[in-house]
Amino acid sequence: MSKSIIVTGAGSGIGESIARKAGVAGYKVGVLDVNTDAAEQVANSLPNGVALHASTTDPDQVEQALDKFGETPDALVNNAGIVRFGPLIDLSFDDWRSVIEVNLTGVFICSQVVARRMRTTGGGSIVNMTSIAGIQPNVNGGSYGSAKAGLHLLTRQMSVEWGEYGIRVNSVAPGFIDGGMSAPIFKDAEIRSTREERVPSGRLGTVDDIAHAVLFLCSEEGSYINGNQLVVDGSVTNSLMASFPRPKSVDSVGAGES
């Protein structure tokens, strides 16, 4: 049976990888991006890609993109996102608002537009791109973490409200990813090696690591997974206590006792 998927922000980075892997897996792929050239370039290189020009924050543009796609997709990946770093004490309201607008409100808009259509076709799968920055506060991260934490709650709420329509809603929270919007961070060799060392799995993540997780959640194999956040971070969010070692003498207390 043919499958279809729309990926927002698919003109580059993680979204592009999701679109490419979905294309290889036989999906008809809607490559939705505010950057028209990028959307067309990716869509034209896929076996069955459709470039969809829209901003996820504009309901009319999203409706038109869905009309152009020509069918209700089996899956929607809300991947489009932006970041504006800066200390909260100096952050401009514009920077605060633009990140909330794209990373949280834009996901609500796309999800509502698609869910209304999925309701009439028997359901589907929605995957939202969160971040480990929505789990641990990110110093000088502006409103990014608040938007992603809010998106995690929105994911859970949508899963509860839309389960009866056959719609599953989950999220994927990437960790340190060597690509997309983080590419400039990892061009700094010292930052790169410091971060690599702190990841229990011993490496940075790739855009493909994230794409695999997303497509699993979209697939039939994930059909009973609903309302979850899949953290794909090599366990870095679990490693806080590893930064606070105990003295060796205390580390071995209790050894040898029966």
Ligand X SMILES: NC(=O)c1ccc[n+]([C@@H]2O[C@H](COP(=O)([O-])OP(=O)(O)OC[C@H]3O[C@@H](n4cnc5c(N)ncnc54)[C@H](O)[C@@H]3O)[C@@H](O)[C@H]2O)c1
Catalytic residues: 144
Is 30 a binder of ligand X (CB under 6 A)? no
Residue in the block written with tokens 């938007």: 147
Q: Which stretch binds ligand X (CB under 6 A): 49-57, 114-122, 217-225, 249-257?
A: 49-57
> Using alpha carbons only, how large is the chain's radius of gyration in Å?
20
The SS3 of residue 248 is helix
Q: What tokens does 121 get? A: 């076709």
Do residues 114 and 6 make contact, with C-beta atoms less than 8 angstroms apart? yes
Residue closer to ligand X by CB (options 55, 125) is: 55
Residues linked to residue 162 through DSSP beta bridges, in sequence order: none
Count of beta carbons in the 10 Å neighbourhood of residue 177:
24
Q: Which stretch binds ligand X (CB under 6 A): 27-35, 187-195, 216-224, 247-255?
A: 27-35
Least separation in angstroms between residue 70's CB and ligand X is: 19
Residues 117 to 146 in contact with ligand X, rule: CB under 6 A: 129, 131
Is 13 a binder of ligand X (CB under 6 A)? yes
- Alpha helices, H only, 8-121: 13-24, 36-44, 59-69, 93-100, 106-121
Is 106 a binder of ligand X (CB under 6 A)? yes
The SS3 of residue 86 is strand
Residue closer to ligand X by CB (options 14, 66) is: 14
Least separation in angstroms between residue 86's CB and ligand X is: 16
Residue closer to ligand X by CB (options 105, 163) is: 105
What mask of x and - would describe binding to ligand X in positions 69 to 98, judged by CB under 6 A? Answer: ----------xxxx----------------
CA 104 – CA 243 distance, rounded (Å):
32
Task: Number of helices (H) and strands (E) in the chain: give both, helices first.
Answer: 10, 7
Q: Which amino acid is at 215?
A: L
What mask of x and - would describe binding to ligand X in positions 141 to 180, judged by CB under 6 A? Answer: ---------------------------------x--x-xx
Interacting residue ranges for ligand X, rule: CB under 6 A: 8-9, 11-15, 33-35, 38, 55-57, 79-82, 102, 106, 129, 131, 174, 177, 179-182
